[in-house]
Amino acid sequence: MTATIIDGKAEAAKLRADVALGAAAFAAAYGRKPGLAVVLVGNDPASEVYVGSKVRLTREVGMESFEHRLSPDIRQEDLLSLVRQLNADPSVDGILVQLPLPGHLDAGSVIAAIDPGKDVDGLHPENAGRLMNGLPGLAPCTPLGAMLLVSRTLETVSGLNAVVLGRSVLVGKPVAQMLLSANATVTMAHSQTRDLPDLCRRADILIAAVGRPEMVRGNWIKPGAVVIDVGINRLTAGADGKAGRLVGDVAYEEARTVAGAITPVPGGVGPMTIACLLQNTLRAASMRASA
C-alpha cells in the first residue's frame, strides 16, 4: 500500500480563491476591503517569514494588510495600547499578534486584550469557550486547516476513532473538540500516555502535533488510516547529513507505506493555516458588517 498524498498547497489555493471572491463581494457591498492587522514583535527569522507570507497573501486575495513591526524590547503596556488601538480601528477586521513573543511579554494578556470579534487566530478565551460549547465563533487556524484536509479525504468522520497527539491550546485541544463536534470518538495523547504506539494503531484518524521530529513511526499507524502531520521541525547537524531538512512529527517515508492518506511536510497543513487565517478575516469582517 502507498498512501494518497493530501496536497495542502492545492487545497489552500482553492480556499484562497473562494476567499478572494468573498472579499470582492464584501468590498462591493460595503465600499471597503476587509482588513487584517499583523503585529510582529522583534526579528525572529521564522516569524518574519510567516508574517511576510501572510501580508503577501492577504493582499493577493483583495484584502487590506496593516503591518506593525515592533522593537523586541517593547513594554507590555505599549503593546497592549497598540492592540486597543486596533480594536477601535473600523478599518481593521482581524488582528493577529505573531507568536511567540519575547520572554518579557505576557502572551496570554495580549491575546485576552484582542476584541474576540477580531481574534482571527481564534485564541481568545471567549472564542475557545465558544468552540467548546459548539457556538459560532472564530476558531484557531491550524486546527481548522487540519479538519478541512480530513473532510476533503473522508466522506464522514462520524463514528471513526481519532487520536490526537499533543494537548496544546494552539492545536491539540481545539482540533480534538472539532473532531468531537463531527461525531468522531476522540482520544487525546501526550507525553504521559502509556503504550502510545498501541494507542495510535487503533486510530482511523491520527493527528500528530507534538513538535518532536519523526516521533511517530510507520509501525504506529493503522493500515489505511488518515494521518495529518501538523509538526514542522528543522533537523540540526547530524551524521546522516540531513541537517536543515524540514520534517514533521511523523516518519513520512515509513508512514506512507501503511497509511491510506497522509499530509507531507512541508506542503500539508502549513499552507492551510494561512488560508484559514484569510477565511477567518473575511468571516470576521462579515460578522462585524452585519452587526
Check residue 243 and give its pLDDT.
59
**257 shares a domain with 182:** yes
CA 96, CA 120: separation in Å to the nearest integer? 6
Percentage of the chain lying above the pLDDT 70 cut: 98
**255 shares a domain with 158:** yes
Q: What is the pLDDT of residues 241-267, one digit of tens each?
A: 565 788 999 999 999 999 999 999 999
Per the annotation, the verdict on 121 as an active-site residue is yes
Out of 33, 93, 98, 204, pick the active-site residue.
Answer: 98
User: Is the distance from CB of 225 to CB of 204 less than 8 angstroms?
Assistant: yes
**242 shares a domain with 146:** yes
**149 shares a domain with 89:** no
Out of 93, 115, 119, 121, pick the active-site residue.
Answer: 121
**263 shares a domain with 149:** yes
Check residue 244 and give its pLDDT.
74
Report if residue 161 sits inside a domain: yes
Domain-ending residue, one of 101, 116, 131: 116
Q: Count structural domains, the chain.
A: 2
The pLDDT mean for the chain works out to 95
Report if residue 221 sits inside a domain: yes
User: Is the distance from CB of 50 to CB of 80 less than 8 angstroms?
Assistant: no
3-class SS of residue 16: helix
Report if residue 258 sits inside a domain: yes
- Positive or negative: CA dihedral 191, 195, 197, 201: negative
Q: Quick one: cell of 31? A: 465600499
Report if residue 57 sits inside a domain: yes
Check residue 240 and give its pLDDT.
57
**266 shares a domain with 145:** yes
**171 shares a domain with 82:** no
Report if residue 25 sits inside a domain: no
Out of 33, 54, 173, 222, pick the active-site residue.
Answer: 54
**111 shares a domain with 149:** no
Report if residue 277 sits inside a domain: no
Check which CATH number belongs to the domain holding 87 and give it.
3.40.50.10860
**241 shares a domain with 161:** yes
- Per-residue pLDDT band for 50 (boundaries 50, 70, 90) equals confident
Q: What is the pLDDT of residues 92-108, one digit of tens each?
A: 999 999 999 999 999 99
Q: Quick one: cell of 105? A: 511579554
Q: What is the pLDDT of residues 201-212, one digit of tens each?
A: 999 999 999 999
Report if residue 124 sits inside a domain: no
| pTM summary value | 0.94
Over residues 264-277, mean pLDDT: 96
Check residue 45 and give its pLDDT.
83
Check which CATH number belongs to the domain holding 156 and give it.
3.40.50.720
**204 shares a domain with 257:** yes
**192 shares a domain with 109:** no
pLDDT at 173 over 80: yes
Check residue 241 and give its pLDDT.
54
Q: How many CB atoms lie within 10 A of CB 192?
A: 7
User: Is the distance from CB of 141 to CB of 15 less than 8 angstroms?
Assistant: no
User: Is the distance from CB of 138 to CB of 127 less than 8 angstroms?
Assistant: yes
State which residues form the domain around 210: 141-270
Per the annotation, the verdict on 192 as an active-site residue is no
**151 shares a domain with 263:** yes
Report if residue 207 sits inside a domain: yes
